[in-house]
Structure 1
Amino acid sequence: MDGSPTPPAAASALDVSASGVLHQLWILITAMRASPRRLALLFLPMGSIVVIATNAVFQIQLNNWQGALYDALQNRDLGAFGHQLLVFLSLIGALLLLVVAQAWLTEVGKVRLRGWLTRDMLDEWLKPKRAYLLAFAGEAGVNPDQRIHEDARHLTELSVDLGNGLLQASLMLVSFIGVLWILSTQVVFNFGHGDFTIPGYMVWCAIAYASIGSWLAWRVGRPLIALNAERYAREADFRASLIKVAERSEAIVLYQGESDERAHLDQAFHKVQSLARQLANGIVSLTWVTSGHGWLAMAAPFVIASPGYFGGRLSLGTLMVAVGAFNQVQYALRWFVDNFSKIADWRATLFRIMALRDRLQRIEELHADQHRITFYEAPAGVLVLEQVEAYLPGSLVECAAIEESRIELKAGEHVLIEGDSAAAKTTLFMSLAGLWPWGDGRIGLPPRADMLFLPERPYFPRATLRIALAYPADAQDHTDEHYASALHAVGLDRLVEDLDRVADWDRHLSLEEQQTLGFARVFLHTPRWVFLNDSLGAVREKSRAALLAAFAAKLNQCTIVSTGGDIGHHFFQRSIHLQHVPRTASRS
């Protein structure tokens, strides 16, 4: 056979160019359009468009009102001044309603969009086998909890804020550019013995001013995109390290490893701090551009329109209307400048989310050209192993190979997997579960519903004991008598009174009690096939013997396959011999 890969290999990085951003956005939009919640998600942006467009209309009226107010002041017309105050109150009342409506649409939009994205990511992550295989999927598979929880929240909030801002800037640009173009005709230049005007003079000035600022912001702020992406990755690593210390605090204290853990945490936090300093320097540099551009914008429209005012073509009120229109056009055009830091943050977050989503969707097909074990449904009541060898994780040259070319296991047999390598036995255990397909040979399995796999450390959700014991089945499928009988069979009668108690059972119980409670699932679910991977290693020998005796008495038609090491050989009727060998020595 060919040399095996190091399964799974990391996928290529996503395209981070501008076209890559649009491609990733289109993927998300396509997924959203397929969502049953698409109408609820569509209502909010449509409502925002209506509100923001209406707001732009009133902003034009407010800008015109400003011109009328200044003309009233210039003419010392008290009646006109009082009238304009009443107009102002009506405009502000309407704008206030629009602002409140926009705030509601924005916040509700964030909640709904995050709800959709989080559910979509959870759906992709928790499809069969993906959560396990993701651990071997390279950098994109690191800290999925951080990406699904924090990055999804951050991406949706930034998307709504930036989307609304871009929409508002675009509508304000369309609304005021015509006003500014018309007012530009009143800016007359005197050259020699003649006067002349430049069509759209103030519009071109606004475009030039905003373009210079945007170009400078892009040049200075471009490194922030990569820095933000790296920051989120290092923050997630630091958080994961903290969680590990919190979860394994007992073992750390018993080993007196506090100083060592502190050193590891210091290293992880140093990476966070180093990136934070680089980001701080980048943001400071960008602030020079954005703030300087903003302060100069206060005087720029007055300077640009001054020929029209000092030439007598513009009244004070008309000048203020021109200044207001220039500012609106310029603010709209410089939206990119003002939001470059947020855009960099948004792009980094988008690519973290999409890298995970892309890896999850492609996790099966990425290695379709590599050697895999063939799985098929075996005839009723048997499990078949034919020339099976499973490549060891991370190895190009080693595999776990079964000595016998063909093995057929039947109902009621007790089978021991023997071998010197615990890694090889665990790999075969994962292959039997269908979680490690990389290798060669054929495995004929019973229906998945007939099988129960017990790892070394069982999993218990934080829930009532009956839910934890029934996991992953519905707790209502069993009666109180069933639960009591299962607990009695494994000697945990004292827990019967805790069936409706909510607790972190993997912390509340010792490892021996956890393994015993995990074995109680066998008596509750009564599967036809049980696979153990050192699943009773922490259970005392006397208790283990009682468990196996109860198993033989109550489930005599159930087949049990164990990787051994924790159960006496006398319990087993036959053995499977497993070799941990170089691939060159395995069957070819």
Structure 2
Amino acid sequence: MQAKTVHNQPITNTPSAFTQFWEDVKAIAGPYWYPTEARGRAFPDVIRAWGMLIILILLIIMLVGVTAFNSFVSRYLLDIITEEKDFNEFINTLLVYGAALVCVTLLVGFSKFVRKQIALDWYQWLNNHILEKYLSNRAYYKINFKSNIDNPDQRISQEIEPLIRNALTFSATFLEKVLEMATFLVILWSLSQFVAVVLVVYTIIGNLIAVYLAQELNKIKQEELEFDADYTYGLTHVRNHAESIAFFQGEKQELNIIKRRFNNIIKSAKRKINWELTQDIFNRGYQAVIQIFPFIVFGPLQIRGEIEFGEIAQASLACNLFATAMAELIREFATSGRFSSYVQRLGEFSDAIEFVNKEPEKVSTIKTIEENHLAFENVTLQTPNYEQVIVEDLSLSVQPGEGLLIVGPSGRGKSSLLRAIAGLWNAGTGRLVRPPLEEVLFLPQRPYIILGTLREQLLYPHTTHKMTDAELKEVLQKVNLQNLLSRVDGFDTEVPWENILSLGEQQRLAFARLLITHPRFTILDEATSALDLKNEESLYQQLQDTKTTFISVGHRESLFNYHQWVLELSGDSSWQLISIQDYQLQKSKEVVINLPKNSEITIDVLPKNESQTQPETSIEIGTIEGLSHKEMQTLTDCSINTIRSKASLGKSITANDGFTYRYDKGPKVLKWVRA
């Protein structure tokens, strides 16, 4: 047997959390703001995004400038009221003050509008960009077994939008508050250098404490985000598997699982509440000290007449605005924990997509050649992790119009061969020759039911194909689904199909797609397992009439009637390819009934309606533990199809020898034995 190849990921030095955070930010923001890929964003779109960003920055600068200007107008207005007492000057100054307030109001409104518009454009582009990567090169399939990413659906649907919104809110707030703090610090410096220096020192100490509190909250919020995702997935899992849970009566167990996940959310929420209490007390205390500080310093000076009242008011306003700006900045750092969690999770998701789409180095893969036939040439197929050999050195060719049946014990790789044909698994060696995938239709045991109308269900995957209602009705008639239209309101009705269609109806619906698509090659993986033999026979006969080349995986003996060749996979990775007739002959052995060892008897079988004087038909029965279908046909008046049908349905047969026989479906028996 071929030695196993181990697929190891390259070992790299683990980056620090800060470095990894900025790497994730660049991976998310880079393709939007500074695309370097040849097939990246269009240049006019990039210019438009940067133009809107520059407008936002200018609006923020104007807002801070007008706010600072208003502090001087307010100071001058108080001087007029308390000292000059000039009514005309008071009116003029008040008008200027009011106009400045109107400007502040408009600038705040427009800056938020531009920020939200940038966020919406960025969200739309990033969502589409990630969706395209997720649904290209079958990354959505590979990511399930090539990475440990959890809840990819939630990362796309629930975490991209808040990430973008928080990123722009934090950036805009950071720029605005830093400019405000710098501006009002300059104003304070002009009034008292001592106050300005003390305020800076106090701010540095306060920031260090605030950053520590924010980091702890960030960890808790990241944990809370993961618990929320697990809880949501648990509820979704129950909805998707409601029928199975109901059959097993597993409500109590499911309730325990969901409660356990919900309790994790509660524990995390309690920790967050405790830390938020500490942070709130710190923020309020921090602001209170800044608010009272100017009165402590400037109050005695005003009493001694060394400073004007307007200057005290401006200093107090500057300190208050500085404190407010700092508090909002601290609050943004605190709430940025969820933002950093979004960045990390989306960065991991993006890296996982890149990883699964990257061709592994120094590992062997099956080479795929597109031609107008299907063949395996010395193919050794392994699991995607290269830990198990499924089939070794397989060579066969399926001729046009023929049918190949793949059989073997459960778990021995029958479906894995179909994955190899579809290009889903390629770990191994050898060459696979197959037609273009556009010419192949796959019918799994549980058909894929899309979210759409009945018309779209039938035409899938070519939903743009045009067919009249009469043509679709004819197809439904062929697959014995003619009554389906009576349960829904026409072909353009959208209902939860998985809930209203049984598995057998879903399998017939999949065959309807086959009759509409007319593929050159069809792959069927237990595609009739939920159908009775009559429906199975009807569908396979129509499949044969299409002259398509088809490969089936199945256990039913009735499938032998519709194929020419059998590929049998064994537990030791070996295989054999033989004709249907030779396979049945190989599985047939001498007829045996439980008798003492080495005993032999002869059973005389008289055909129906024949007299005792006619020649006798006799078969010897040796030491085998059962009868094959052909031997049962000899002992009964039934056709071979009837024999197989009764075997599949588990029905017994009374033979001409007077004994009743039943079919033992045990994997080591598969024979008719005496009941």
TM class by shorter chain equals: 0.7 to 0.9
Give deviations 1:206-255, integer Å, cap 9, x for gaps: 32222111111222332333332222222111111101212222332232
1:22 equivalent in alignment to 2:26? no
Alpha carbons of 1:510 and 1:383: their partners in 2 closer, same or farther (altered >3 Å)? same
SS of 2:433 mapped into structure 1: strand
| TM-score normalised over the length of structure 2 | 0.77
Q: 2:520 aligns with which of 515, 528, 533?
A: 528
1:347 CA drift (Å): 0.8
Provide the residue aligned with 2:153 in structure 1: 145
Alignment of 1:234-313 (within 5 A): 234-305=227-298, 309=302, 312-313=305-306
Alignment of 1:433-452 (within 5 A): 433-452=422-441
Larger relative contact order, structure 1 or 2 (CA cutoff 8 Å, min sep 6):
1
One-letter identity of the residue aligned with 1:502: E
Alpha carbons of 1:71 and 1:581: their partners in 2 closer, same or farther (altered >3 Å)? farther
Alpha carbons of 1:451 and 1:17: their partners in 2 closer, same or farther (altered >3 Å)? same
Provide the residue aligned with 1:197 in structure 2: none
Provide the residue aligned with 1:389 in structure 2: 380
1:51 CA drift (Å): 1.6
Alignment of 1:492-571 (within 5 A): 492-495=481-484, 498-553=490-545, 555-556=546-547, 558-566=548-556, 568-571=559-562
One-letter identity of the residue aligned with 2:27: I
Alpha carbons of 1:320 and 1:258: their partners in 2 closer, same or farther (altered >3 Å)? same
Give deviations 1:463-507, integer Å, cap 9, x for gaps: 111112212213344444543343232122234673211122222
Give deviations 1:437-478, integer Å, cap 9, x for gaps: 223332122111111112222222221111122122133444
Provide the residue aligned with 1:212 in structure 2: 205
User: Retained in 1: the 8 A contact 2:32–2:122?
Assistant: no
Structure (1/2) with the larger helix percentage: 1
Structure 1 unaligned runs (5+)? 185-199
Give deviations 1:366-405, integer Å, cap 9, x for gaps: 733333222222x32x212123233346673x32115x64
Moved more, 453-462 or 489-498: 489-498
| Rg comparison, structure with higher value | 2
Give deviations 1:147-201, integer Å, cap 9, x for gaps: 11111121112112112101212332443343333223xxxxxxxxxxxxxxx44
| TM-score normalised over the length of structure 1 | 0.88
SS of 1:58 mapped into structure 2: helix
SS of 1:23 mapped into structure 2: helix
The whole-number CA distance in structure 1 between the counterparts of 2:161 and 2:477 is 46
Q: 2:95 aligns with which of 78, 86, 108?
A: 86
Alpha carbons of 1:283 and 1:6: their partners in 2 closer, same or farther (altered >3 Å)? farther
Provide the residue aligned with 2:570 in structure 1: 579
1:126 CA drift (Å): 0.9
Give deviations 1:41-96, integer Å, cap 9, x for gaps: 33432222122122112101211122123223432726144444323321222222
User: Retained in 2: the 8 A contact 1:217–1:337?
Assistant: yes
The whole-number CA distance in structure 2 between the counterparts of 1:183 and 1:88 is 21
The whole-number CA distance in structure 2 between the counterparts of 1:207 and 1:459 is 64
Provide the residue aligned with 1:409 in structure 2: 398
1:107 equivalent in alignment to 2:116? yes
1:268 CA drift (Å): 1.5
Alpha carbons of 1:423 and 1:332: their partners in 2 closer, same or farther (altered >3 Å)? farther
SS of 2:32 mapped into structure 1: helix
Structure 2 unaligned runs (5+)? 34-39, 576-675
Provide the residue aligned with 2:612 in structure 1: none
Name the count of aligned residue pairs: 561
The whole-number CA distance in structure 2 between the counterparts of 1:144 and 1:22 is 22
User: Retained in 1: the 8 A contact 2:4–2:389?
Assistant: no
1:265 CA drift (Å): 0.8
The whole-number CA distance in structure 2 between the counterparts of 1:582 and 1:412 is 28
Alpha carbons of 1:176 and 1:430: their partners in 2 closer, same or farther (altered >3 Å)? same
Identity of paired residues, percent?
23
Give deviations 1:288-323, integer Å, cap 9, x for gaps: 332322222222343455576566543121122223
User: Retained in 1: the 8 A contact 2:68–2:183?
Assistant: yes
1:582 CA drift (Å): 7.5
Alpha carbons of 1:367 and 1:490: their partners in 2 closer, same or farther (altered >3 Å)? same
Alpha carbons of 1:581 and 1:280: their partners in 2 closer, same or farther (altered >3 Å)? farther
The whole-number CA distance in structure 1 between the counterparts of 2:172 and 2:60 is 8
The whole-number CA distance in structure 2 between the counterparts of 1:395 and 1:237 is 30
Moved more, 291-300 or 364-373: 364-373
One-letter identity of the residue aligned with 2:60: I
Provide the residue aligned with 1:324 in structure 2: 317
1:65 equivalent in alignment to 2:73? yes
